[in-house]
């Protein structure tokens, strides 16, 4: 609770900090430390004095390139660590300070080592996949090569003794027809075996059938186990195939189709008896490769673990150095090339801190010449700077998302700290849900020190950054939930029994039968008897809608009043007369009057129809109100308010633009007349 109180917004947040334009003359030997120390303060906004130069023409372009290259290497290391499933060490390591040159050498060595290990691992994985596929093809193809008659089908099968002398027929006739017709003794069936992705098998078979015009047998079987893709590291299902064909031309076509579909072909021996021996040899080599791969993975993970322990510090160092050199590129070198000149804006209250940081930079860099820091006059308007803390920062970001206030304007984020969570609570009014939200906010605040040093995801980072916003939203939700008497949409008799009861004993708990009021109103919030009654929706929706109107009108009035204080602060009587006054008249003549009617209706219990009152206030303002009259003198008051609203529209729209146009056109005309007079005088003389 003490931390929460310390984080409350101070009273000096009403307007942006007063800014001053300063110039720095920094010796070259202390420039890096000076910019680094000023960056840690974060209270100086440098101007770019080299805006006319491209990034490649600036003084420290080589250092920026080196930092960018190191950032690329660090991103590469981070990707490798994430792929390996490793995490950076959360413990604080006693790491010696390292400068940029040494870090560049270390990163180059680590990158070369990792690239070499990855290359070797990819080659070993490719060899392992090939042997594994070869083993699977040997096991599956053996069954395809044994004929249904119990004899082995070798690379060439002897057919009938009778032959045809027409060799072209053998190339074009189907294999079934070749078996039915006598063929030369030199002809026969050959086969190609291999493995292909399961998703491509059907298209592969169709392409083979079309290319060979049906002169082939295609047998396939699932591989039985998934194989890792060495590029994407995904497990892929594959299918073993054996294609029987006849003729050299068909063989060439089939091999080209296999290459196009990415199918891997493996030589299966013709002799079935050799399959077992080859399979054992392949299995032995697979075992050796598995041991080699495991050893390589362990060595690679060890190297990545060492990198992961220092990765966060290295990334922070490179990011900070790149920011320093980017800032130094905004400074001008003196003609002597011995000092740099910088200009920028800083808050008036931060001058002492900046001077102390510059003195420390001079001392740490062992410079014989101090840094000159002095104020200057500036023509342009200063930037807007609001001093925030952990409590007010999320509200300031919400306001800045819609627009940044002009320099020295009132800061609307101060009022947003209360208005934003309360408007949320009016929509989220349920004290059961509010308690759940409160527990979540308290957990985030209790672990604030721990979570602030950890890397969070985008969603958790957003929740943690708005922990104090969630805290206030939950508290206001509990308050509005008690007013609405909703606990997970269920009413409770928290503040005593209901003020209504059944008309007689026969109605029991049936809410559809009318209830009568027998005691004082419910002490706080909505009476629980409204739940389940015939008029529940009409009553609750009307109440919430009218509350929304009241708070919405109050919110708009607050914004217009802030514009008045801004106009008075800047001495703009034009904005007060032709913007603030007509806006207040227009808003309160219509919506302010509606808010007044709502309050009077609540206090008097009148049955007047406010829709009817507001509609006929425009359509027929002189008609009698009848039962819709809430107070004496309502009709003449409505006529006066309507006339004021009509007058406020042109008052708000037309005078200010014409006055501004007149003010901005008179000055150029005056200058033109002066120039003509001067030229005429010179010509006269």
Question: What's 182's domain CATH number?
Answer: 3.30.70
Going by pLDDT thresholds of 50, 70 and 90, the confidence category of residue 507 is low
One domain, residues 150 and 100: no
pLDDT at 503: 64
One domain, residues 229 and 333: no
Is position 227 within any domain?
Answer: yes
Q: Are 19 and 347 in contact (CB under 8 A)?
A: yes
319 alpha-carbon distance from chain centroid = 20
pLDDT digits (tens, 9 = 90+) for 316-338: 999 999 999 999 999 998 777 78
pLDDT digits (tens, 9 = 90+) for 662-682: 887 654 544 544 454 444 443
C-alpha dist (Å) from residue 178 to 65, 164, 166, 188, 658: 71, 10, 12, 9, 100
| Position 3 pLDDT exceeds 60 | no
Is position 257 within any domain?
Answer: yes
Is position 127 within any domain?
Answer: no
Going by pLDDT thresholds of 50, 70 and 90, the confidence category of residue 659 is confident
Q: Are 32 and 40 in contact (CB under 8 A)?
A: no
Which of 329, 347, 373 terminates a domain? The answer is: 373
One domain, residues 193 and 263: yes
Among 41, 40, 21, 15, smallest CA distance to 387 is for 15
**Rounded Cα gap, residues 50 and 31, in angstroms:** 17
One domain, residues 73 and 158: no
Q: Residue 370 has which token pair?
A: 């101090």
| Position 160 pLDDT exceeds 50 | no
One domain, residues 250 and 339: no
Helix (H) or strand (E) holding 194: strand 190-197
Radius of gyration of the chain (CA): 42
pLDDT digits (tens, 9 = 90+) for 238-291: 888 888 888 888 889 999 999 999 888 988 877 666 777 888 888 889 888 889
Is position 614 within any domain?
Answer: yes
Which of 214, 242, 267 terminates a domain? The answer is: 267
One domain, residues 254 and 186: yes
Which of 317, 347, 373 terminates a domain? The answer is: 373
One domain, residues 242 and 313: no
Strands (DSSP E) found in 441-580: 500-502, 515-517
One domain, residues 541 and 642: yes
Is position 52 within any domain?
Answer: yes
Number of domains in the chain: 3
Mean pLDDT value across residues 188-209: 87
Helix (H) or strand (E) holding 470: helix 467-484
pLDDT digits (tens, 9 = 90+) for 454-503: 778 788 888 888 899 999 999 999 999 999 888 988 888 888 777 776 66
Is position 665 within any domain?
Answer: no
Range of the domain at 572: 537-653
Q: Residue 576 has which token pair?
A: 């007060």
Pairing, β 238-245 against β 515-517: unpaired
One domain, residues 95 and 46: yes
Mean pLDDT value across residues 295-308: 90
pLDDT at 318: 93
Beta carbons within 10 angstroms of residue 121's beta carbon: 17
Beta carbons within 10 angstroms of residue 157's beta carbon: 17
One domain, residues 263 and 307: no
* Percent of the chain residues topping a pLDDT of 90: 29
pLDDT digits (tens, 9 = 90+) for 586-620: 999 999 999 999 999 888 878 888 888 888 888 88
Is position 84 within any domain?
Answer: yes
**Rounded Cα gap, residues 367 and 86, in angstroms:** 45
Is position 583 within any domain?
Answer: yes
One domain, residues 566 and 641: yes
One domain, residues 257 and 173: yes
Residue that is written with structure tokens 């200063």 in the block: 382
Phi, psi (rounded to 5 degrees) for 677: -65, -40
Mean pLDDT value across residues 148-169: 35
Helix (H) or strand (E) holding 333: strand 332-333
């Amino acid at each position: 609770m003490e931390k929460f109180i310390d984080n409350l917004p101070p009273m000096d947040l009403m307007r942006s900090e007063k800014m001053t334009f300063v110039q720095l003359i920094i010796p070259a030997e202390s420039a890096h430390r000076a910019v680094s120390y000023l960056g840690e303060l974060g209270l100086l906004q440098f101007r770019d004095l080299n805006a006319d130069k491209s990034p490649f023409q600036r003084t420290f372009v080589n250092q920026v390139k080196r930092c960018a290259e190191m950032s690329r290497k660090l991103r590469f290391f981070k990707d490798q660590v994430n792929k390996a499933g490793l995490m950076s060490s959360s413990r604080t390591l006693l790491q010696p300070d390292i400068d940029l040159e040494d870090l560049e050498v270390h990163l180059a060595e680590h990158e070369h080592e990792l690239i070499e290990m990855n290359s070797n691992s990819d080659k070993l994985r490719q060899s392992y996949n090939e042997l594994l596929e070869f083993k699977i093809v040997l096991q599956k193809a053996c069954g395809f090569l044994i004929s249904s008659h119990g004899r082995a089908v070798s690379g060439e099968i002897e057919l009938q003794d009778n032959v045809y002398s027409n060799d072209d027929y053998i190339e074009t006739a189907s294999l079934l027809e070749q078996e039915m017709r006598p063929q030369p003794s030199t002809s026969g069936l050959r086969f190609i075996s291999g493995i292909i992705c399961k998703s491509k098998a059907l298209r592969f078979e169709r392409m083979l059938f079309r290319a060979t015009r049906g002169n082939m047998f295609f047998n396939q079987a699932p591989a039985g186990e998934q194989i890792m893709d060495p590029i994407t590291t995904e497990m892929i299902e594959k299918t073993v195939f054996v294609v029987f064909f006849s003729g050299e031309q068909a063989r060439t076509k089939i091999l080209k189709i296999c290459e196009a579909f990415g199918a891997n072909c493996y030589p299966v021996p013709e002799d079935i008896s050799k399959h077992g021996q080859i399979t054992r040899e392949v299995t032995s080599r697979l075992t050796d490769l598995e041991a080699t791969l495991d050893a390589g993975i362990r060595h690679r993970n060890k190297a990545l673990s060492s990198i992961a322990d220092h990765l966060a510090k290295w990334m922070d160092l490179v990011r900070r150095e790149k920011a320093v050199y980017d800032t130094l590129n905004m400074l001008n070198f003196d003609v002597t090339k011995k000092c740099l000149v910088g200009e920028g804006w800083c808050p008036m209250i931060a001058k002492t801190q900046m001077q102390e940081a510059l003195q420390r930079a001079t001392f740490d860099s062992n410079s014989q010449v101090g840094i000159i820091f002095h104020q200057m006059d500036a023509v342009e308007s200063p930037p807007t700077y609001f001093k925030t803390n952990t409590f007010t920062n999320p509200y300031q970001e919400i306001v800045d998302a819609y627009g940044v206030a002009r320099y020295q304007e009132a800061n609307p984020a101060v009022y947003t700290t209360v208005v934003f969570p309360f408007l949320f609570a009016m929509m989220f009014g349920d004290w059961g849900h509010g308690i759940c939200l409160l527990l979540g906010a308290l957990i985030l605040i209790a672990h604030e020190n721990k979570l602030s040093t950890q890397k969070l995801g985008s969603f958790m980072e957003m929740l943690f950054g708005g922990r104090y916003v969630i805290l206030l939203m939950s508290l206001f939700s509990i308050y509005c939930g008690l007013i609405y008497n909703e606990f997970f949409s269920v009413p409770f008799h928290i503040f005593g029994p209901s003020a209504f009861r059944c008309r007689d004993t026969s109605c029991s708990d049936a809410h559809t039968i009318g209830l009568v009021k027998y005691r004082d109103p419910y002490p706080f919030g909505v009476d629980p008897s409204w739940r389940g009654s015939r008029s529940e929706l009409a009553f609750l929706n009307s109440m919430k809608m009218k509350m929304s109107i009241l708070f919405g009108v109050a919110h708009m009035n607050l914004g217009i009043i802030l514009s008045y204080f801004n106009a008075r602060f800047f001495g703009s009587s034009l904005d007060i007369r032709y913007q603030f006054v007509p806006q207040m008249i227009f808003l309160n003549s219509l919506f302010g009057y509606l808010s007044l009617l709502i309050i009077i209706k609540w206090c008097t219990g009148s049955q007047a129809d406010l829709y009817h009152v507001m509609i006929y206030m425009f359509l027929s303002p002189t008609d009698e109100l009848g039962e819709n009259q809430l107070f004496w003198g309502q009709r003449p008051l409505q006529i006066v308010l309507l006339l004021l609203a009509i007058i406020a529209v042109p008052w708000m729209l037309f005078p200010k633009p014409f006055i501004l146009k007149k003010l901005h056109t008179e000055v150029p005309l005056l200058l033109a007349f002066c120039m003509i007079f001067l030229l005429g005088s010179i010509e006269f003389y």
